[in-house]
Amino acid sequence: MTLKAPFPWFGGKRKVAPLVWRALGDVDQYVEPFAGSLATLLMRPAGHTGTVETVNDMDSYLVNFWRAVKHAPEEVAYHANDPVNESDLTARHIWLVNTGRERLLRLEGDPDYYDAKVAGWWLWGICAWIGSGWCSGKGPWGADEEGKLIHLGNAGQGVNRQLIHLGDAGRGVDTGLEAITAYMEALAARLRYVRVTVGDWTRVVTAGALTYGSTVGVFLDPPYDTDIRAGDLYASDAERGQVSTAVREWALANGDNPRYRIVLAGYEPEHIEYMPDSWRMVAWTANKSYGTANGSDSANDANRRLERLWLSPHCQHDEIPQAPRMLPLFAPSSNGHQEAR
């Protein structure tokens, strides 16, 4: 069985994961500070023997899902197994953004904590939801004490009242409890020894955290620069900042360590001028999103062709073709004036 996340995830790296593993090789320790859909981890070659794997994310709903699947796959499947209903989608969204969010406050302080009901309802909803904003808490609607939908204004933990997705991707996960449970159990088996943490990305890439092993693979897939990609794609305010800059600086500061094999993902324009020649740049094209596939998002259609991976000097990249560097439109001439390329 080829495992993948049972939910749609914008920016997933499943398509390029085999190339990432070619660059990293069979490392003793693997760390993914921005876990997302775990596309890269789940695509790790079966023959690898490296035993220490750590994934982290700042999105508490996402981390809770992976923890709950790891420890209670049957319970998560039970809560996720429902047909799609627009009224239920709104009601559960309100519950998740308010009550569910409160229940997940223990995640960061307790590495063993999870909530299977929140995980199941979050999975069910994200599979029925159109676009971004699921469980962001930034919408205008909430519920009063009687459960009636009310307008909260900007100060409340609200939801966007959104229509359900009626295409193939919007049928929820109502494929039968037995089938859902079997898949959750397969994911649980894969995640059995994976450490799943929630919080700031820097906590899992300290010198102490990366002590184990003679080879350490770090896959960095931070939120892309908000000047290039829309800022409403991520669940937390911290993720909307210029995290990509700090991640690039960490990568460059640690890239010459012979124990580390680092792969940095991003758009070419956000990193190209900072990356030295010792880092190999690899071009790839992401799959179309829901919006670009329907011709409604030309910006993302252009951006998906700018996807790049940068491989640190100690990666196994001899046989991986390097992409040509994109020349700037204007460059200084010998007399100091700007000339068009």
Given the structure tokens 């023997």, which residue do they identify? 49
For residue 308, what are the β-bridge partners?
Answer: 266, 283
CA 104 vs CA 69, 100, 144, 162: distances in Å = 15, 6, 21, 24
CA–CA gap between residue 258 and residue 145 (Å, rounded): 59
Which of 240, 241, 320, 332 has the alpha carbon at shortest distance from 283?
320
For residue 310, what are the β-bridge partners?
Answer: 264, 281
Enter the tokens of residue 36: 């997302």
Right CATH for 1-58+199-341 from 1.10.3210.10, 3.30.70.260, 1.10.3720.10, 3.40.50.150: 3.40.50.150
Query: pLDDT (tens digit, 0 to 9) for every residue of the chain, 341 residues total?
Result: 689 999 988 888 999 999 999 999 999 999 999 999 999 999 999 999 999 999 999 999 999 999 999 999 999 999 999 888 888 888 899 999 999 999 999 998 899 999 999 999 999 999 888 777 889 888 787 777 776 776 666 556 777 766 665 554 445 555 689 999 999 999 999 999 999 999 999 999 999 999 999 999 999 999 987 565 454 444 444 444 489 999 999 999 999 999 999 999 999 999 999 999 999 999 999 887 545 444 555 556 778 889 999 999 999 977 777 777 654 444 444 444 444 33
Helix (H, G, I), strand (E, B) or coil at 324: coil
Helix (H, G, I), strand (E, B) or coil at 52: strand
CA–CA gap between residue 50 and residue 27 (Å, rounded): 6
Contact by Cβ (8 Å): 209, 31: yes
Residue 315 CB neighbour total at 10 angstroms: 23
Contact by Cβ (8 Å): 76, 123: yes
Helices 60-71, 177-190: axis angle to 10 degrees equals 100
Over its C-alpha atoms, the chain yields an Rg (Å, rounded) of 21
- Looking at residue 108, its amino acid is E
User: Structural domain boundaries of the chain?
Assistant: 1-58+199-341, 59-192
Angle at alpha carbon of residue 63, lines to 56 and 201, rounded to 5°? 25
